[in-house]
Structure 1
Amino acid sequence: MRTTFVIASRNRAPELARTITTLLDTTDCPIITVDNGSDDHSVAVVRRFAGEHPGRVLAIELKSNEGVVARNIGVAACRTPYVAFCDDDSWWAPDSIGIAEEVLDHNPTVGLLAARTIVLPQNRDDPMAAELANSALGRRPGLPGPSILGFMTCGAVVRKVAFTAAGGFSELLHFYGEEQLLAMDLAALGWDLCYCPELISYHQPSTVRGSSTARDARELRNAVLTTWMRRPVRHCLRATGKLFSAAIRDAEHVRGAVQALVRVPAALASRRPLPAEVERALTLIESG
């Protein structure tokens, strides 16, 4: 096989078991699960699958919650040129991986393909699908779909060499909104990112999840850090102001603002302004 599934999971044993079972039943691809220091029976679940499907399911167990770094560890363990990401509450349509492999085989400049993600049980498109389909960047001749500078990890297939060259996901961000920085860095290296609606991923949100307020605060925090790492100062100030304005509302956004302040020195140490053409593309998307 030329594609490996990589799943980062923590404390969602029932959903993880469902996802692994679905992938085993509908594909032939190897599956790497990286456990982020779970304290439920997730590790036992994956060990059972690994024992029943030796060579097909690999369990990697981390002692603590490393956030998105878990995905980097999973990708590093892959022996295939392509990687399809899953969350523990998401999976792929059976024919999507074959389509992705064919598209990537015929488009060597494409580093990432974003799928159309369907949310279950409502069976509706995730709102992100429409945003990607109607990207302000349009569709350049010769590419398999509209050019994009954002994606959902649970609906992304990457070329391993591109992902590795871009440094994978940033450990500074931990979780939520981590895709934006990786998209920027892939584009900065000259890789194309495309939306490919022929690829279908399914997402049935877990019942084990934090509050929407906490998630929003984390996403705003990471937007600030991402901006300080890559964007012009005017964008940095705007993103920081948005987070601090939100901090007036509730404790979660206060916590996010404090965390951002603590991490800004590390973000500045990693600062690497984007090439002009990538910055122009981002500005076009944001003004669209």
Structure 2
Amino acid sequence: MDRATVVMITHNRVREVLRTLREMTRQPDGAPIILVDNGSGDGTADTVARRYPEVELIRSERNLGAVARNLAVRRVRTRYVAFCDDDTTWQPGSLARAADLLDAHPGLGAVTGRCLVEPGLAEDPLTPELRHSPVPRPAWLPGPALLGVLAGLSMFRVTAFRAVGGFSPRLWLGGEEELLSLDLAARGWWMCWAEDVVIHHAPSKQRDSRHRRTLGIRNTLWTLWLRRPLRSAARRTRAVLAGAPADRATCSAVLAALRGLPWVLRERRVVPRRVEEGLVLLEDAQRRSTARRYVD
């Protein structure tokens, strides 16, 4: 495929990344792949270089988190970039389908696919929120309008991604897509969900779920205060903390969020009213969502 490049990041998951590359390099779509090894200590980079010489490999000396994707996108020469985690695989035909949607709709900045969780291939618990998104959409939009995407399930228009600066270095990893999505929407780009763009997720056991939860809560709080009006930010902060366990991880997240307050105040840019109205419409589903519970 000459329309899209697949970008993948990994850290100390050599087994998972080899499995994913095996599947992605067999795709009939034939998209080029750029892999960023985030300072792995398990030989990931050398193993990938030996087994998959056709994959463009970037070796980072340290773990850059989601910002490693920005590094890869600098090398992308195609119109679109599809992000793929080291434990997700785009299914045959899905890369082409997402690119077709972006080709057909110049105002579309990103397409997010349907996630099926292995081994049983049940839909990811977040799927109902995406399928039934209440955000108003223009007649031309080919699917439910989104104000938040999941990076490993999404294809982006490269010009749109670059225009908003990609992923924030401050957020690092864990809910890092929220800020990017709001900045895309603020610039007038639409994002949608596509039922027939399918990605499988085989959740890796090589993860520190408690640390990821801490980062997720911190990043959610930062994003709220960076982009939402004060009243909305306060309301959603109460909801987020009410749904989080009263434990050390949550306490660490709140303290980290408070330490970043000077940066948040410097960088605060409230989204346009139309975007905020869409975010308010999403709040009821977010309150009821079991997929948004901050538990390990």
TM-score, normalised on structure 1? 0.93
C-alpha separation in 2, matches of 1:17 and 1:254? 36
CA distance 1:19–1:183, shift in 2 (3 Å)? same
C-alpha separation in 2, matches of 1:201 and 1:48? 27
CA distance 1:132–1:248, shift in 2 (3 Å)? closer
Q: CA offsets, 1:66-101, max 9 Å, x none?
A: 111001111111111111111000110110111111
Q: CA offsets, 1:222-248, max 9 Å, x none?
A: 111111111111233344445666787
C-alpha separation in 2, matches of 1:49 and 1:78? 22
Q: Aligned residue for 1:264?
A: 261
* AA of the residue aligned to 2:40: S
Q: 2:142 aligned to 123, 140, 144, which one?
A: 144
Q: Aligned residue for 1:82?
A: 80
Relative to structure 2, which stretch is displaced further, 226-235 or 194-203?
Answer: 226-235
CA distance 1:245–1:103, shift in 2 (3 Å)? closer
Q: Aligned residue for 1:169?
A: 167
CA contact 1:92–1:200 (8 Å) conserved in 2: yes
Q: Aligned residue for 1:11?
A: 12
C-alpha separation in 1, matches of 2:175 and 2:35? 21
Q: Aligned residue for 1:234?
A: 231
CA distance 1:89–1:248, shift in 2 (3 Å)? closer
Q: 2:35 aligned to 29, 33, 36, which one?
A: 33
Q: Aligned residue for 1:191?
A: 189
Q: 2:122 aligned to 121, 124, 146, which one?
A: 124
Query: How many residues are paired up?
Result: 283
CA contact 1:68–1:174 (8 Å) conserved in 2: yes
CA contact 2:136–2:278 (8 Å) conserved in 1: no
Report deviation, 1:189: 0.5
C-alpha separation in 2, matches of 1:112 and 1:231? 22
Q: CA offsets, 1:155-180, max 9 Å, x none?
A: 10100001111111111111111111
SS at match of 2:167: coil
CA distance 1:247–1:152, shift in 2 (3 Å)? closer
SS at match of 2:258: helix
CA contact 2:7–2:73 (8 Å) conserved in 1: yes
C-alpha separation in 2, matches of 1:261 and 1:228? 11
C-alpha separation in 2, matches of 1:185 and 1:84? 18
Q: Aligned residue for 1:45?
A: 47
SS at match of 1:205: coil
Q: CA offsets, 1:119-172, max 9 Å, x none?
A: 001211112221111001255311111111112111101000011111111111
In structure 1, list runs of 5 or more residues that go unmatched.
none
C-alpha separation in 1, matches of 2:79 and 2:204? 30
Q: Aligned residue for 2:99?
A: 101
Q: 2:108 aligned to 107, 110, 119, which one?
A: 110
CA contact 2:7–2:82 (8 Å) conserved in 1: yes
C-alpha separation in 2, matches of 1:247 and 1:132? 22
C-alpha separation in 2, matches of 1:169 and 1:181? 8
C-alpha separation in 1, matches of 2:72 and 2:245? 39
C-alpha separation in 2, matches of 1:193 and 1:244? 28
CA contact 1:246–1:253 (8 Å) conserved in 2: no
Q: CA offsets, 1:156-214, max 9 Å, x none?
A: 01000011111111111111111111111111111110111110011100010113x43
TM-score, normalised on structure 2? 0.90
SS at match of 2:25: helix
* AA of the residue aligned to 1:279: E
C-alpha separation in 1, matches of 2:244 and 2:116? 32
* AA of the residue aligned to 1:12: R
Q: CA offsets, 1:27-68, max 9 Å, x none?
A: 4111001111111111112212453x2xxx111111111111
SS at match of 1:158: strand
